[in-house]
Amino acid sequence: MASSHRISRRDFAKFVTAALSTIMGAAMGIPVIAYLIDPALKVQSSEAWIPLGPLDGFPEGTPKSFSFTRSNINGWEKTVNSYGGFIVKKSDSDILALSNRCTHLSCSVNWSEEDNAYTCPCHEAYFDMDGGVLDGPPPHALDHFETKVEEGDLYILFPAVPSHGG
């Protein structure tokens, strides 16, 4: 009877030691792990509607450039990135907002009236007015932003998304 219900002094000591070690290990280990992986757990949601001003300000039939900046906080540092693109307005209901970031290696493309194309200065690439690749190394069309018009003002949704087709 004694053997079935009582635990020996030695087993008790073993059990208490193991339990205390586990608690102390967790008390030290968990804070340390949380401390190390903390930045990886912070996800910055960056989606935002960026106002570009009155829609009337954009000419019909020819691309007009725009630019804006977004800031991110990494640790104690604010990183400001600039972005830009072109609004291609064909009518008040047919608006395309293209990113100016070349899909090859991210140089900025410029609209060239002369070539009737966006040209990339880095590796001589050409994109048509709607962003499709005409010539050069880029693998696919320029990215675009979703757009909306509210009370006469044009907004684009950051970040840009890939366009389909070449």
Interface residues with other proteins (CB under 8 A) are: 31-32, 34-36, 38-39, 41, 75-77
Longest dimension (CA), the chain: 102
Report which secondary-structure segment, H or E, holds 65. strand 64-74
Q: Which does 104 bind (CB under 5 to 8 A by kind): other proteins, ligand FES, none?
A: ligand FES
What backbone torsions phi and psi does residue 57 show, to the nearest 5 degrees?
A: -70, -10
Q: Which does 136 bind (CB under 5 to 8 A by kind): other proteins, ligand FES, none?
A: ligand FES
Helix (H, G, I), strand (E, B), or coil: what is residue 3?
helix
Helix (H, G, I), strand (E, B), or coil: what is residue 15?
helix
Helices (H), 42-160: none
132 binds ligand FES (CB under 6 A): no
List the x/- string, 92-131, binding to ligand FES by CB under 6 A.
----------x-xx-x------------x-xx-x------
Tell me, rounded to whole angstroms, the distance of Cα 18 from its chain centroid: 47
List the x/- string, 10-49, binding to ligand FES by CB under 6 A.
----------------------------------------
